Amino acid sequence: MESTLGGLISDRPHQAMSRAVVKTALYRVLMVFVSVAVAYLVVGDVSAALSIGLATNVVKTVTYYGYERLWDRIAWGV
């Protein structure tokens, strides 16, 4: 396995892209439920809570996937 920066960054991922996609999707489903529940406790309206929970989680899903793929190339601690 090739690496750069003193072995901290790998040029190859440690897991398949499909695994990262499945992990991301399942984590985000869980977080949708958490976000909607918290939003409902704050706003007290189911429709608003669903809107908040879904919108924030679309953004968070894309962000998490990118973050996961970035960290998958860092060899430190593996």
pLDDT of 51 reads 95
pLDDT of 1 reads 52
pLDDT of 4 reads 66
Q: From first to last of the 78 residues of the chain, give the pLDDT tens digit.
A: 556 676 777 777 778 888 888 987 898 889 899 999 999 999 999 999 999 999 998 888 889 889 989 998 988 877
pLDDT of 68 reads 86
pLDDT of 28 reads 81
Q: Who contacts 33 (Cβ-Cβ below 8 Å, separation ≥6)?
A: 53
**H-run or E-run covering 6:** none
Tokens (6 digits) for 74 = 């860092």
